[in-house]
Chains A and B, each alone.
Chain A
């Protein structure tokens, strides 16, 4: 939080300390305390929650939309919507799962409306990707990647993802890109683990067919 924002909210000294030095607060317990404060209108506490999950939420939305501006708008909207609905948050699931669910549902709705609009911004790619061992192994054999440059590969990946339905894309992004376990995905997407597995399998089959040239 910036200095001005801290001064504005008057929450500079707000920290959650464990009761004793030996006692460690779990992230979920810590979340619960921040949520309680945020429910009482403490924006400083909510700021902490945003900082904790902004990267994961943004990344998921970015991989779903393949567009930085859209991901930014959707991530902000998700956090605003979550703050407004905070009173209804009972704490049955973790705050992380709950806010993720809001972001996912909002993004799926957005993508359904945006179906025909399709553009990607790949300028923001981290160019350290060239040193990634997975990429090195992928392009060390006789594959079309050898000829294709990095931008083209990423573009091809995004195009392939955009060909999937929203729910299949979400499962692939959460599991194969973000590394979220099946059980957590089932909570986020409000479906059972079997559905998550079958969606993942189907999505991978489709991607494999689309990207077959790059997987030989």
Chain B
């Protein structure tokens, strides 16, 4: 089947019940989304479908035909990082970094809808994502900063 990933149509040959995460990492070599728990409980695998944050580890590809999927790679490149990535780099928001792609994607989903989201709204939106290092304070600051960058502040 065909999947629209980061604006590109990708032909995928996999069982329709296969979780999107496996297709991303194994078939398409898009390794931004992480495998954490495989049960939708940690958020490391978060990507966007039509702008909504979803757990790619429990989303069978069969439901994604015609949907616009965005992964971490879709937010920018090494040479040209997007506002979310710039904010996380600027504030050095990663400790071990394993949860960070998921955090960025979930924050992105919120800020695309509401670039001026408050700290409380960011905290509430990020609830489903776990960080075992305890880097939450910097993650929240980075998400707030990303909102500023998206609103054109330098």
| Same complex origin of A and B | no
Name B residues whose Cβ lies closer than 8 Å to a Cβ of A: none
